[in-house]
A and B are shown apart, each in its own frame.
Chain A
Amino acid sequence: MEHLPVLQVVIPLVLAPFCFVMARHTWLVALAGSVLSLVCSVLLLIQLLAVGTVDYFVGGWPPPWGIELRIDLLGGFVLLLVSLIAALVVTWAHDTVESEIRDDQINLFWCMFLLCLTGSFGIVVTGDVFNVFVFLEITSLSTYTMIALGRDRRALMASFRYLVMGTVGATFILIAVGLLYMMTGTLNMADLAVRLPAIQDTTTVRAAFAFFTVGVSLKIALFPLHQWLPNAYTYAPSAVTVFLAATSTKVSLYVLLRFFFTVFGADYVFGDLHVDYVLLPLSIVAIFVASIIAVYQEDLKRILAYSSVAQIGYMTLGISLANAQGLTAAIVHMFNHGLIKGGLFLAVGGLCLRIGSTRLSDLRGAGRTMPWTMGAIVIGGCALIGVPLTAGFVSKWYLVIAALEKDMWYVAVAIFTASIIAAAYVWRVIEHLYFQQGYAEASTLRSEVPLYMLLPTWLLIAMLIWLGIDTDLTVGIAERAAQSLVAP
């Protein structure tokens, strides 16, 4: 039990090379890896709910000399999201991976998937800022590879763009870590938090903060640094899109929270530097611009990709409010949006497998041939808008409360208005799927996807409704996590 923090990272790391050398049955290895990770993170979360934080000294060396793994409730929550999505994606992806990826590259694909999982877990569990960079690079490099494996040749270009942007982001984060190390002589997060206040008014620390914020914003795809995201989501293999959309920006957001609140401290970030003056307007612009662009897209994957950029705006909006309610809303929305986009992209992946395209014009009338998949899209879409009794409503509700608490009524108005725009793009999808005639229903081949693909999709969709009614799990954990971030 006491080794859980390290096992979380080591299990996928050890299984990845097996995928690399095995020619067949690599799907089973990936399945084993993701299910074991899920078990690990559930056990960890149970432990965290009891004790609050878990420490682990790698190699037996105590911090600040050794590398410390440190997980708090926020970390446990993100771990649960990542491993849950990973387990569902792998269960679901057997057929789509075989149809979308070249036979001789399937084992490499699963190897990369497990490495990506390793990196995501590593970012969350570590208490060392340099480790964050290393794991971020593991995640990013494996993601670039997975995107490039898409059948569409444009996937290469999308992957290359993400590679350039992502590398700039990662380099900025590394520069920030270097500057911090120069000023304090330590890389341990807790130790940094102790040493930084004395020297926080120096140009070097401010430069480190600026480099970090811009770098991680690139990874989060915060408007206007989101340019890499739509193409990467659209042209990547379906399974990769699901995993990316549901987890990768969330993990980057975790890094932002960790640095803002644990390393630099809320007083410095929001009190001295007033990052909220930049973050708040950008978030609102992100919500509106990305939602409006989404309305005009002709490809379902692109609609959802732009919608992701908008939803990331909601999360950073919650952070920029800088009070416990805002943070709670951001953390809840991080989790809920992961499930929403996960569920939606799982359904879209099913469409991709059966119809071979995700262009709206090709999907006309598909609502009648694939009722279950389409039902999932409708409910997921409702959650995206924030219809009551879905998970999306809960997070937006908390966001509105947090905004009103700070007397920012215009933020509340913006949230309502943006929800109407979201309704517009979701409605456009529903209209094409249900109310238009098209060749999606003409062919007999275009039938419902197999049960083992529907089950993960509907499990997520059912969770959306459950979490929309019973908020104990999400809001309960998020409130405690937000409290510990604001008042450590």
Chain B
Amino acid sequence: MDNNLIVREVANLFLPIIVLFGLYVQFHGDFGPGGGFQAGVIIAVGVILYALVHGLTKTRQLIPLRVIRVLMAVGLLLYAGTGIATLLLGGEFLNYNVLGSDPLTGQHVGILLIELGVGITVAAVMVMIFYAFAGRGRE
């Protein structure tokens, strides 16, 4: 649909807004509705919209499969790593209290890191699933 002027321009206009909204949902998760899972899906939707308009080949040049695979692992490692960090700092697994100078900041830092991990993995997995289905029969 690269040659369809209206679709292309509207998609290009929406893309940054979608990603920005995704980031808002991601980082506002600990104050209101939202969180890593929803944010990950929203950001992945942005990538999928880009792929629908500009084609799979171009998208895969922009975000190669290799990067997606690494991101899938990084998100999980960020989550588990936070847990291990709390273990090393003397708390129980995922006891965020020990991450900051006082429990309140600790809880903030902890939930932010965890949700970031969730967001990264969810977005990467969504894009990966899209690549797998859309790319079926090409290679």
Contact = CB atoms under 8 A, between A and B. Distances in A.
A, B co-complexed: yes
Interface of A: 3, 6, 10, 13-14, 16-18, 20-21, 56-60
Interface residues of B, number: 19
B76 interface: yes
B19 interface: no
B76 to A, nearest CB: 5
Which 8 A-B residue pairs are closest in the complex by CB-CB distance? Answer: A17-B73, A60-B95, A6-B93, A59-B94, A60-B92, A21-B73, A14-B80, A17-B76
A58 B93 contact: yes
A259 B11 CA distance: 52
B84 A14 contact: yes
B49 interface: no
A60 B97 CA distance: 9
B96 to A, nearest CB: 7
Nearest to A20: B73
A6 B97 CA distance: 18
Given A3-B87, A14-B80, A14-B84, A56 B69 contact: no
A68 B90 CA distance: 18
Contacts of A57: 92
A257 B130 CA distance: 41
Contacts of B96: 59
Given A10-B80, A10-B83, A17 B72 contact: yes
10 contacts: A6-B87, A10-B83, A10-B84, A20-B72, A57-B92, A58-B92, A60-B91, A60-B92, A60-B95, A60-B97
Given A3-B87, A10-B80, A10-B83, A59 B73 contact: no
Contacts of B97: 60
A364 to B, nearest CB: 43
Contacts of B95: 59-60
B56 interface: no
B127 to A, nearest CB: 15
Contacts of A20: 69, 72-73
Interface string B89-109: 001111111000000000000
Secondary structure class of chain A's binding surface, majority of residues: helix
B48 interface: no
B70 A3 contact: no
Nearest to A17: B73
Nearest to A13: B80
B7 to A, nearest CB: 36
Contacts of B70: 21
B73 A3 contact: no
Contacts of B52: none
Contacts of A18: 73
A60 B77 CA distance: 21
Contacts of A56: 92-93
A112 to B, nearest CB: 14
B88 to A, nearest CB: 10
A57 B95 CA distance: 9
A21 B65 CA distance: 11
A87 B56 CA distance: 42
A196 to B, nearest CB: 28
A245 to B, nearest CB: 29
A59 B72 contact: no
A13 B93 CA distance: 13
Given A10-B84, A14-B80, A14-B84, A59 B69 contact: no
A440 B139 CA distance: 40
Given A20-B72, A59-B96, A60-B91, 5 more contacts: A3-B87, A6-B83, A14-B84, A17-B73, A21-B69
Contacts of B91: 60
Contacts of A10: 80, 83-84, 93
Nearest to A21: B73
A210 to B, nearest CB: 32
The CB with the most chain B CB atoms within 10 A, among A16, A18, A21, A57, is that of A21
A240 to B, nearest CB: 22
Contacts of B76: 13, 16-17
A132 B69 CA distance: 28
Contacts of B77: 14, 17
A58 B114 CA distance: 14
